[in-house]
Structure 1
Amino acid sequence: MDKNLIFSPIVFAIIHFSVNIIHYPQKPNKQLLVCGDTKVLLVDYKDEKDSIPNIVWSWDSHEAMDLPEAFRLKKFNTMDDCKAIRKGEQILVSSSGGAIAIIRRKDKKVLFHAAVPNAHSIELLPGDLIAAAASTHKEGNRIMLFDSHQPDKPLFSDTLYSAHGVVWDDKRKSLFALGMSVLREYKLVKTGQPSLKKVNEWNIPGKSGHDLQPAPDGNHLFLTEMTGTWSFDLNGHTFTKIPGFTEAHDTKSVGLDKSGQFIYTVPEKSWWTYHVRFQHPTHALSFPTMQVYKARWFSEQ
């Protein structure tokens, strides 16, 4: 036998160990969505000191030739919310310029768009329905409901002053909506033309409700207002400060991933910022040429 084919136990162990290292699955990078100006960005996040974002996907409304000109050049000039849906294959976007849309990520095709006065948030509901928050505007101050197969044709609306946030809770089959001074719970009515029925309302602490996001545990909502950030217990219907989060005045968006890391945005000039910030661990990503409004953890669930 060729002596070169004879392996000692030590050599075999080293080779076996090396193979295991080569094939050991690596933990995937976290990603986040960032929106502002006319853009929505998908960014890879790494736990390092580098503040330069690694942008892996982007959508710019000015380049979306499948949008009507008024939407493309005006209504989407101030992007203010962005959420991943359908396992990350589509992105919900809203703009205070007066519009909402659904973008297919693989080819950037606009699947749905609608005019919403001073739109500040958007959410997907069962049955391919879309809820939107229309903030302060002579034709706004309301929650609007759309069928995603019928662009720009609202099915229903309900008055809510300074509407700023909408979140669907699939566990409770409820839509939660945040206004200037109240948090509401709606149920979806499917008989006849779809609509929403208000079933609960709570006065929020502080003033000027702004961001509304689900917490990872499925039993709380995070909300922000001008003076602080809060956690709302969906079972006990009580407000407490968000545990572990160092709040900042006028926080525009806040979220938490399953690892326990917060993502948030705080204005540096007027209503916008040039940074997306993180806690636990602390980090910041810089966007010096973009007026960033909100940032969200990206999920493919």
Structure 2
Amino acid sequence: MVLLGLLSGPLMGMAQPGTEKLVLVCGQSKVLLVDYQNGKDSVPAVVWSWDAHEAMDLPDEYRTKKFNTMDDCKPIRQGEQLLVSSSGGAIALINRSDKKILFHASVPNAHSIELLPGELIAAAASTAPTGNRIMLFDRRQSGKPIFSDSLYSAHGLVWDDKRKSLFALGLTVLREYKLMMTGQKSLKLVQEWKIPGEGGHDLQPTLDGNYLFLTETNGAWQFDLTKHTFIKIPGFTDAPHTKSVGRDRSGQFVYTVPEKSWWTYHVRFQNPGHALSFPDLEVYKARWFQP
């Protein structure tokens, strides 16, 4: 059971950033926006949702197949738009107010997506015959990549606007790329670090822009963007195979850990602890909605 509590206002379901404690949740063909404070015990209050199966502006193959396994969702442009990726083989940019698809492209085993300057979109293509790479798209053009670079089991992407760098997480390494805008737009690899453990999975920036949270098979880590060092995330009790982890302005963590295969039916919180139940959804990742 999901408690539906749409917000009032000129754009129904459009919570204003900073006025609510909101969480993005993605899994299967759906992306949900949940009001953390107005749920009932473990029952989430869903204030907005998008289901690829209902997105009639997507080609049939994307609508019925490629977006069946949503694995990342990120708010951009003050929450007015969302980036989503699916391991079924696709990425998309969604306008939140009317749910229109502003861009979509085929990406083998897509596991993350990020907006870069100049209307460019980067995607992480994980293990697949034509995957294991970072792909770069121009959203003003067709859905064909304009550049790619090999990265085995590519899983996480973060654009760092302070450093003007794209950070990318693979199976055993974290990389830093610079965006080359002269001539044919491309990415230039400038640094690479071996991560603690292997099976790099989630990559998320901290709000202060000084660190990256990353997860791998055995736990979760914090990468210092100045010192280039890894330590366990302070105050977070991690677990093997953590699929996503983030922290909001209050210091509360949101995270997902598989209960069956790669998915979970709960989104969990720490400091303070809590859990939201999604019995009808195979949840993959959860993100604080902090545009």
User: Who is 1:147 aligned against?
Assistant: 138
CA deviations 1:20-68 (Å, max 9, x no partner) are: xxxxxxx833001000000000110118771000001000001000001
Q: Report the structure, 1 or 2, having the larger helix content.
A: 1
* Alpha-carbon contact 2:167-2:175 (below 8 Å) kept: yes
User: Who is 1:127 aligned against?
Assistant: 118
SS in 1 for 2:43: coil
Instruction: Write out aligned runs for 1:136-285 (5 A).
Output: 136-285=127-276
* One-letter identity of the residue aligned with 1:132: A
User: Who is 1:86 aligned against?
Assistant: 77
Instruction: Detail structure 1 runs of 4+ shifted over 2 Å in the superposition.
Output: none
CA distance in 1, matches of 2:39, 2:58: 38
CA distance in 1, matches of 2:179, 2:91: 20
CA distance in 2, matches of 1:185, 1:207: 18
SS in 1 for 2:146: strand
TM-score between the two structures when normalised by the length of structure 2: 0.93
CA distance in 2, matches of 1:139, 1:88: 32
CA distance in 2, matches of 1:257, 1:184: 25
- Alignment of 1:286 with 2:286, yes or no, is no
Unaligned stretches of 5+ residues in structure 1: 1-26
Larger Rg: 1
* Alpha-carbon contact 2:39-2:45 (below 8 Å) kept: no
Match of 2:36 among 30, 33, 45: 45
- Alignment of 1:101 with 2:95, yes or no, is no
CA distance in 1, matches of 2:167, 2:208: 16
- Alignment of 1:77 with 2:53, yes or no, is no
Match of 1:65 among 38, 56, 80: 56
CA distance in 2, matches of 1:28, 1:60: 25
Identity across matched positions, percent: 74
TM-score between the two structures when normalised by the length of structure 1: 0.90
CA deviations 1:177-226 (Å, max 9, x no partner) are: 00000000000000112100000000000110000000122110000000
CA distance in 2, matches of 1:161, 1:292: 25
CA distance in 1, matches of 2:81, 2:278: 23
- Alignment of 1:56 with 2:47, yes or no, is yes
